[in-house]
C-alpha cells in the first residue's frame, strides 16, 4: 500500500472514532431536546379562560372577581354560538324526515366538537367526569379542536397498494343552505374572544395533585413517590454498601471465599432489573409479607438490593484512592486499625463515596421495572410518611409508562407526559451532574 | 528473684492494663470483624435468595407443563382455555433486539473507546466522558417514552426516506474508503510509475461509479419501503444500542488503557501509523477485555424492560421473514412486566409460574455471561501483567 493511502486510512480511522462519539452526543441531544422543549410546555403555556376556571373550582386559586368578569366577557361571545345552535334545532324540526335524520347525525358531531372546545353547552347534563366539565384549557389544544370542528376527517382507501391516507372535508359545506353554516366562520374568527388565551405560568404542575387521572392538575404525588422510593432505597443500601466496601478493602484476605463474594457482587450488578421486581414480589411481599400487597417499603427494599453493588464498587474505589501515607501516618501515631478507618480513611474517602451514592440515588429514582410489582400504582394521591409501610405510591417512572401506554386518552395529555419525563430526567441528570462536579473537585484536591 | 520478676511484671503492666481488658479488646475486634464479614456476605446471600425465590416459582411451571412446549412452540395464549405457553417467539424476539442493538452498539462502542483511550487529547476527553455518563444516566423509561412518542411515529410516517438517508450517510464514507483502498491495492504490483498512475485513476473512477450505482440502487429500494408500524424491532434496537453503548465504551476503554505504552511505542517505532498500531497491536492485546465489554453491553440490552415494553409492539410472533426488523415483536422482559399484573391474581397457576420461568431464563443467562466476562477480564489482567 502506498503511503498516501495509509495516511488516508489512518485519518479515516480517527474520523470513525470521533464520529461515533459525536453520534452519541447527537443522540443524547436528540433524546433530551424534545423532552426539554415539550416538557417546559407543561408549566409555561398559553392558557385559556377554561384553565383559570378549572384552577378556581378545583384548587381554589385565582381572583374570583377577575375570573367572573372574564367569564362574563367570554359568555357574551359564546351566547351567539348557543343562539345559532338553538336556531338550528328549531330549523331541524321543520325539515322533511329523511333530511332531518341526515342532518341530525351531522349536527350531533358538531355539538360534540363544540363541547370539547368550549365545555358543556347550555341544556347539557352536568358531566360526571371532571375532564368534560371544562373546555380546552390550553390554546394549542383548542386550535386542534377548532380544526376538528371545522373539518371532518376521512380516510382515503381507494388505493389498496399503499396505506390509507387521511384527508379533511369542511363541515360547513355539509350545512350549506341552513342557518348553521354561519357558525363555523364565527367560531373560527372569535375563538380567542371566547377562550381568552393568555400566557400562563403554572407552577402548580409540580406541586398540585392530579385531577381526573392527569387531565388537569399536576404531578406532585409522583414526584413525592419517587423521592420516597429513592431515599428509602438509599437508607437501606448506603450504610450496608459502605460497610461491605470497608470489609472488602481493609479486612478481606485473598482466597476462595473473597473471590466468591466478589463474584456475587458482580452477579448482582448484572441481574436484569425486571428480575429484581419478581424477586421483590416473591420474597418481600409473598414470603416475608412486609406488607399486604404493594408498598413503598417493599419497593424501596427491592431498589436497595438493585443499587447495592454500585454503591459497594464506588465506595471501594473511593477508599482505595485514599493515599497510603494517610493510613501510615495514622497507624504510626498509635491508633488502632479500626480507629484509622473511622477517623482517617472514611472521612478522606467520603466525597468519593458520596459521589457513588448520588449516582445510585439517581438510578433508584429512574428505575421502573423493580417497582412495577412491588410499589407502583397508576392513580393515587400523595401518601403521608406514616403510610410508607403499608400503601403503594404513584412514582414518576411508572406513571410515565402508564400515561404514555395505558391511559385511555394518552394522546390528549402528551404535555403531562412530557412534563413528567422532564421532571424525572432533570432529577436524575441533576444528581449525576452534581456527582460529576463533586468528582472533579476531588481529583483536583488529590492532585494537590 | 521474686522481686525481679515482680518488677518485670509491673513494667509490662504499664502497657497492658489487665488480661481481662485485653481479651475484651480482642473479643471486640473479632466481633467487629465478623460483623463486617456478615454485612459483606449479605450480597452473596441476596444472590442465593434471588436464585432460590425465582426458581421456586419457576419450577412448578415445568412440573405442570414440561419443557418442550415452552421452548419449541410459538403459540402464546396464556389467558385462553386451554392455555398455551409457547415462548419460542418471545425468546426469539429477545434475541432479535439484542442482536440488533449489538450490531449497532459494538462497532460504535469499540470505535468510541479507542478514540477515548488513544486518539483524543485529554482536554477533549474531559468533555466526552460526561456525555457518555449522561447517556448512561437517562432513565430507561425516558428512552422508552422517546421511542414511543417521537421515534416510532417518525419511522412510521417517513420510514422509507429515513432509511435511505441513514444508508447514504452511514455507508457512503465507507464505500469511498473501500474504493480508495481497493484501487490502491490493485495497482501496488505495477512498477512503472506512469502506467500505475493511469491505472490507479481508472480504477478509482471505475469502482467509484460502481459503488455510486450500488448505493443508489439500494437507496431507492430502501426509499420504497413502507413501515407499517413504528413500534417494531428496529426502533427498539436503535434505542437499546444507545443504552448499551456506555457500558461497552467504559469497559472496553478500561481494557485498552490496561494495554501498556510499551506495546504501542514498539509498534510506532516499526513505522506503523496510529490506525495500524491500534488495529494490529492494541486491539489484539485488549481483545478479551473488549469481549467482556460486549458481553456486558449485550446483557444490558437483553435485560432491558421499559423500552421494549413500550416500543416493541408486544406481538408474540416470529417476524416474516425471520430477519424482518420492521415488524412488531415481543420480548421476555416485556412479557414478564406486562402479564404479571393479570397473572398475579391467579398465584399458583401455570400462568403465574411461566413468568417466573422466563425470569429464571434471564437470570441464568445473565449469571453465566457475567461469570464468563469476569473470567475473561481476570485472565487478561494476568496475561498483561506478565504472570
What pLDDT score does B344 carry? 66
Residue B15 in this model has a pLDDT that exceeds 70: no
Confidence at A399, pLDDT banded by 50, 70, 90: very high
Residues of B in contact with A404 (CB under 8 A): 144-145, 148-149, 310
Residue B13 in this model has a pLDDT that exceeds 60: no
Query: Scanning every residue of chain A, which has its alpha carbon at the shortest distance from the alpha carbon of B52?
Result: A279
Nearest-CA distance B74 → chain A (Å): 22
Confidence at B8, pLDDT banded by 50, 70, 90: very low
Share the mean pLDDT of chain A: 88
What pLDDT score does A9 carry? 87
Number of domains in chain A: 2
What pLDDT score does B6 carry? 43
Residues A224 and A197 in one domain: no
Query: What counts of helices (H) and strands (E) characterise chain B?
Result: 15, 2
Task: Verify whether the Cβ–Cβ distance A401 to B306 is below 8 Å.
Answer: yes
Residues A272 and A318 in one domain: yes
Neighbours of A131 (CB within 10 A): 17
CB A398 within 8 A of CB B140: no
- Paired residues of A199 in beta bridges: A46
Residue B2 in this model has a pLDDT that exceeds 70: no
Question: Which B residues in the span 334-363 are in contact with A, Cβ-Cβ below 8 Å?
Answer: 336-337, 340-341, 344, 347, 355-356, 359, 362-363
Percentage of chain A beyond pLDDT 90 is 41
Q: What is the spatial distance between Cα A207 and Cα A179, in angstroms, rounded to a whole number?
A: 47
Residues A357 and A231 in one domain: yes
Specify the length of chain B in residues: 387
Residues A355 and A386 in one domain: yes
pLDDT in tens, A95-132: 888 888 888 888 888 888 888 888 888 878 888 888 88
Q: What is the spatial distance between Cα A88 and Cα A98, in angstroms, rounded to a whole number?
A: 16
What pLDDT score does A1 carry? 67
Residue B231 in this model has a pLDDT that exceeds 80: yes
Task: Verify whether the Cβ–Cβ distance A312 to B43 is below 8 Å.
Answer: yes
Residues A192 and A256 in one domain: no
Q: What is the spatial distance between Cα B252 and Cα B292, in angstroms, rounded to a whole number?
A: 8
Q: What is the spatial distance between Cα A237 and Cα A360, in angstroms, rounded to a whole number?
A: 9
What pLDDT score does B3 carry? 41
Nearest-CA distance A379 → chain B (Å): 15
Residue A211 in this model has a pLDDT that exceeds 90: no
Residues A171 and A264 in one domain: no
Residue A232 in this model has a pLDDT that exceeds 80: yes
Q: Which three cell numbers stand for residue A264?
A: 456475587
Residue at A331 is within a domain: yes
Q: Which residues have a Cβ under 8 Å from the Cβ of A133 and sit 6 or more positions away?
A: A54, A119, A120, A126, A127
Domain that holds residue A146: 49-202
Residue B9 in this model has a pLDDT that exceeds 50: no
Q: What is the spatial distance between Cα B97 and Cα B240, in angstroms, rounded to a whole number?
A: 8
Residue at A24 is within a domain: no
Judging by beta carbons within 10 Å of its beta carbon (0-12, 13-18, 19+), is residue B47 exposed, middle or buried? buried
Q: Which residues have a Cβ under 8 Å from the Cβ of B295 and sit 6 or more positions away?
A: B369, B372, B373, B376
Judging by beta carbons within 10 Å of its beta carbon (0-12, 13-18, 19+), is residue B324 exposed, middle or buried? middle
Residue at A38 is within a domain: no
Single residue among A135, A167, A202 that ends a domain in this structure: A202
Mean local confidence (pLDDT), B294-321: 90
Nearest-CA distance B346 → chain A (Å): 13
Residue B1 in this model has a pLDDT that exceeds 50: no
CA distances from A154 to A157, A164, A169, A379 (A): 10, 10, 7, 35
Residue A143 in this model has a pLDDT that exceeds 80: yes
CB B307 within 8 A of CB B239: yes
Mean local confidence (pLDDT), A160-178: 80
Residues of B in contact with A246 (CB under 8 A): 36
Percentage of chain B beyond pLDDT 90 is 39
Residue B86 in this model has a pLDDT that exceeds 50: yes
Residues A198 and A232 in one domain: no
Task: Verify whether the Cβ–Cβ distance A271 to B303 is below 8 Å.
Answer: yes
Share the mean pLDDT of chain B: 87
CB A262 within 8 A of CB A248: yes
Residue from B318, B336, B339 nearest B327 by CA:
B318
Confidence at A156, pLDDT banded by 50, 70, 90: confident
Task: Verify whether the Cβ–Cβ distance B173 to A12 is below 8 Å.
Answer: yes
pLDDT in tens, A15-28: 988 999 999 999 99
- What is the 8-class DSSP label of residue A166? E
pLDDT in tens, A407-437: 888 888 899 999 999 999 999 999 998 988 8
CB B307 within 8 A of CB B42: no
What pLDDT score does A345 carry? 92
Residues of B in contact with A2 (CB under 8 A): 184, 188
Neighbours of B159 (CB within 10 A): 21
Q: Which three cell numbers stand for residue B159?
A: 420510514
Task: Verify whether the Cβ–Cβ distance B366 to A272 is below 8 Å.
Answer: yes
Residue B153 in this model has a pLDDT that exceeds 60: yes
pLDDT in tens, A356-369: 999 999 999 999 99
Q: Which residues have a Cβ under 8 Å from the Cβ of A32 and sit 6 or more positions away?
A: A425, B138
Residues A63 and A157 in one domain: yes
Chain A interface includes B106 (CB < 8 A): no
Chain A interface includes B236 (CB < 8 A): no
CA distances from B366 to A129, B59, B214 (A): 47, 19, 41
Residue at A186 is within a domain: yes
Q: What is the spatial distance between Cα A310 and Cα A314, in angstroms, rounded to a whole number?
A: 6
Rounded-to-10 torsion of CA B224, B230, B234, B235: 130
Residues A190 and A327 in one domain: no
Q: What is the spatial distance between Cα A314 and Cα A360, in angstroms, rounded to a whole number?
A: 10
What pLDDT score does A29 carry? 93
DSSP secondary structure, B72-109, as one string? H---EETTSSS-EE--HHHHHHHHHHHHHHHHHHHHHH
Residue at A8 is within a domain: no
Task: Verify whether the Cβ–Cβ distance B112 to A17 is below 8 Å.
Answer: yes
What pLDDT score does B346 carry? 65
Nearest-CA distance A234 → chain B (Å): 16
Task: Verify whether the Cβ–Cβ distance B143 to A31 is below 8 Å.
Answer: yes
Mark B272-282 as b/e (b = at least 16 C-beta within 10 Å): bbbbbbbeebb
All structural domains of chain B, each given as residue ranges with its CATH number in brackets, are 64-157+225-384 (1.10.3720.10)
Single residue among A140, A175, A202 that ends a domain in this structure: A202
User: What is the number of alpha carbons within 13 Å of residue B13 lying toward its C-beta?
Assistant: 8
Task: Kindly report the CATH number assigned to the domain that includes residue A343.
Answer: 1.10.3720.10
Question: Which B residues in the span 200-229 are in contact with A, Cβ-Cβ below 8 Å?
Answer: 226, 228
Helical (H) or strand (E) element with B304: none
CB B95 within 8 A of CB B228: no
Query: Helix, strand, or coil here: A216?
Result: strand
- What is the 8-class DSSP label of residue A382? P
Residue at A7 is within a domain: no
pLDDT in tens, B18-64: 788 888 888 988 888 888 889 889 999 999 999 999 999 899 888 88
Confidence at B17, pLDDT banded by 50, 70, 90: low
Mean local confidence (pLDDT), B285-313: 91
Q: Which residues have a Cβ under 8 Å from the Cβ of A224 and sit 6 or more positions away?
A: A382, A383, A393
Task: Verify whether the Cβ–Cβ distance A270 to B367 is below 8 Å.
Answer: yes
Q: Are strands A210-211 and A216-217 parallel, antiparallel or unpaired?
A: antiparallel
Mean local confidence (pLDDT), A72-92: 88
User: What is the number of alpha carbons within 13 Å of residue B362 lying toward its C-beta?
Assistant: 38
What pLDDT score does A107 carry? 86
Mean local confidence (pLDDT), B103-126: 89
Chain A interface includes B378 (CB < 8 A): no
CB B356 within 8 A of CB B58: yes
Residues A194 and A340 in one domain: no
Residue at A23 is within a domain: no
Residues A186 and A237 in one domain: no
Q: What is the spatial distance between Cα A38 and Cα A41, in angstroms, rounded to a whole number?
A: 5
Residues A176 and A239 in one domain: no
Residue at A422 is within a domain: yes
Residue B78 in this model has a pLDDT that exceeds 60: yes
Residue from A221, A265, A270, A258 nearest A377 by CA:
A221
* Lookup result for grid cell 395533585: A209
Amino acid at each position: 500500500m502506498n503511503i498516501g493511502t495509509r495516511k488516508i486510512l489512518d485519518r479515516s480511522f480517527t474520523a470513525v472514532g470521533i464520529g461515533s462519539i459525536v453520534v452519541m452526543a447527537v443522540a443524547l441531544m436528540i433524546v433530551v431536546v424534545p423532552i426539554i422543549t415539550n416538557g417546559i410546555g407543561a408549566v409555561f403555556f398559553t392558557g385559556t379562560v377554561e384553565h383559570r376556571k378549572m384552577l378556581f373550582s378545583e384548587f381554589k386559586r385565582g381572583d374570583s372577581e377577575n375570573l367572573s368578569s372574564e367569564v362574563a366577557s367570554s359568555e357574551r361571545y359564546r351566547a351567539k354560538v348557543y343562539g345559532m345552535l338553538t336556531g338550528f334545532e328549531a330549523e331541524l324540526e321543520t325539515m322533511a324526515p329523511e333530511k332531518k335524520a341526515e342532518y341530525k347525525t351531522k349536527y350531533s358531531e358538531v355539538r360534540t366538537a363544540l363541547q370539547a372546545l368550549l365545555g358543556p353547552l347550555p341544556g347539557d347534563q352536568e358531566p360526571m367526569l371532571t375532564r368534560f366539565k371544562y373546555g380546552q384549557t390550553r390554546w394549542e389544544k383548542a386550535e386542534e379542536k377548532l380544526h376538528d370542528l371545522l373539518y371532518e376527517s376521512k380516510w382515503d382507501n381507494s388505493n389498496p397498494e399503499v396505506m390509507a391516507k387521511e384527508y379533511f372535508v369542511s363541515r360547513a359545506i355539509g350545512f350549506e343552505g341552513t342557518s348553521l353554516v354561519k357558525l363555523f366562520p364565527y367560531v373560527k374568527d372569535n375563538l380567542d374572544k371566547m377562550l381568552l388565551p393568555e400566557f400562563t405560568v403554572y407552577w402548580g404542575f409540580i406541586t398540585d395533585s392530579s385531577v381526573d387521572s392527569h387531565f388537569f392538575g399536576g404531578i406532585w404525588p409522583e414526584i413525592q413517590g419517587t423521592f420516597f422510593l429513592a431515599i428509602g432505597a438509599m437508607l437501606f443500601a448506603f450504610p450496608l454498601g459502605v460497610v461491605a466496601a470497608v470489609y472488602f478493602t481493609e479486612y478481606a484476605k485473598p482466597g476462595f471465599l473473597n473471590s466468591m463474594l466478589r463474584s456475587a457482587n458482580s452477579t448482582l450488578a448484572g441481574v436484569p432489573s425486571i428480575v429484581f421486581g419478581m424477586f421483590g414480589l416473591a420474597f418481600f411481599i409473598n414470603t416475608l409479607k412486609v406488607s399486604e400487597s404493594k408498598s413503598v417499603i417493599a419497593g424501596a427494599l427491592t431498589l436497595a438490593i438493585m443499587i447495592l453493588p454500585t454503591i459497594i464498587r464506588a465506595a471501594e474505589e473511593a477508599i482505595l484512592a485514599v493515599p497510603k501515607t494517610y493510613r501510615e501516618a495514622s497507624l504510626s501515631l498509635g491508633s488502632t486499625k479500626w480507629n484509622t478507618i473511622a477517623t482517617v480513611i472514611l472521612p478522606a474517602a467520603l466525597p468519593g463515596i458520596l459521589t457513588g451514592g448520588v449516582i445510585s440515588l439517581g438510578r433508584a429514582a429512574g428505575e421502573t421495572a423493580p417497582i412495577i410489582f412491588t410499589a407502583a400504582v397508576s392513580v393515587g394521591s400523595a401518601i403521608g410518611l406514616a403510610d410508607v409501610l403499608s400503601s403503594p405510591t404513584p412514582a414518576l417512572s411508572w406513571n410515565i409508562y402508564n400515561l404514555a401506554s395505558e391511559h385511555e386518552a394518552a394522546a390528549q395529555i402528551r404535555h403531562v407526559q412530557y412534563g413528567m419525563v422532564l421532571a424525572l430526567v432533570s432529577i436524575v441528570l441533576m444528581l449525576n451532574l452534581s456527582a460529576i462536579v463533586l468528582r472533579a473537585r476531588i481529583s483536583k484536591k488529590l492532585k494537590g | 528473684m521474686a522481686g525481679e520478676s515482680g518488677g518485670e511484671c509491673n513494667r509490662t503492666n504499664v502497657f497492658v492494663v489487665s488480661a481481662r481488658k485485653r481479651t475484651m479488646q480482642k473479643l471486640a475486634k473479632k466481633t467487629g470483624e465478623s460483623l463486617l464479614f456478615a454485612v459483606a456476605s449479605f450480597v452473596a446471600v441476596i444472590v442465593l435468595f434471588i436464585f432460590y425465590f425465582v426458581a421456586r416459582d419457576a419450577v412448578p411451571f415445568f412440573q405442570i407443563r414440561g419443557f418442550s412446549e415452552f421452548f419449541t412452540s410459538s403459540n402464546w395464549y396464556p389467558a385462553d382455555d386451554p392455555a398455551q405457553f409457547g415462548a419460542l417467539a418471545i425468546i426469539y424476539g429477545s434475541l432479535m433486539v439484542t442482536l440488533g442493538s449489538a450490531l449497532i452498539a459494538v462497532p460504535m462502542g469499540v470505535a468510541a473507546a479507542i478514540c477515548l483511550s488513544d486518539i483524543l487529547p485529554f482536554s477533549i476527553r474531559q468533555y466526552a466522558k460526561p456525555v457518555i455518563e449522561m447517556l448512561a444516566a437517562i432513565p430507561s423509561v425516558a428512552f422508552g417514552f422517546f421511542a414511543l412518542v417521537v421515534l416510532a411515529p417518525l419511522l412510521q410516517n417517513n420510514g422509507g426516506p429515513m432509511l435511505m438517508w441513514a444508508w447514504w450517510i452511514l455507508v457512503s464514507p465507507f464505500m469511498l474508503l473501500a474504493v480508495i483502498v481497493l484501487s490502491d491495492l490493485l495497482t501496488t504490483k505495477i512498477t512503472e510509475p506512469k502506467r500505475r498512475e493511469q491505472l490507479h485513476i481508472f480504477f478509482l473512477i471505475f469502482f467509484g461509479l460502481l459503488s455510486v450505482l450500488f448505493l443508489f440502487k439500494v437507496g431507492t429500494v430502501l426509499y420504497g419501503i413502507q413501515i407499517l408500524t413504528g413500534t417494531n424491532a428496529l426502533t427498539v434496537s436503535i434505542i437499546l444500542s444507545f443504552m448499551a453503548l456506555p457500558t461497552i465504551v467504559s469497559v472496553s476503554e478500561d481494557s485498552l488503557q490496561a494495554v501498556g505504552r510499551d506495546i504501542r511505542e514498539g509498534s510506532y517505532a516499526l513505522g506503523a501509523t496510529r490506525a495500524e498500531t491500534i488495529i494490529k497491536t492494541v486491539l489484539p492485546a485488549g481483545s478479551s477485555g473488549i469481549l467482556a465489554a460486549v458481553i456486558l453491553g449485550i446483557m444490558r440490552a437483553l435485560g432491558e424492560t421499559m423500552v421494549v415494553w413500550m416500543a416493541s409492539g408486544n406481538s408474540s410472533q416470529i417476524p416474516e421473514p425471520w430477519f424482518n426488523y420492521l415488524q412488531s415483536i415481543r420480548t421476555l422482559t416485556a412479557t414478564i412486566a406486562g402479564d404479571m399484573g393479570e397473572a398475579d391474581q391467579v398465584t399458583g397457576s401455570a400462568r403465574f409460574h411461566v413468568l417466573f420461568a422466563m425470569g429464571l431464563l434471564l437470570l441464568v443467562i445473565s449469571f453465566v455471561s457475567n461469570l464468563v466476562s469476569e473470567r475473561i477480564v481476570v485472565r487478561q489482567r494476568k496475561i498483561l501483567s506478565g504472570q
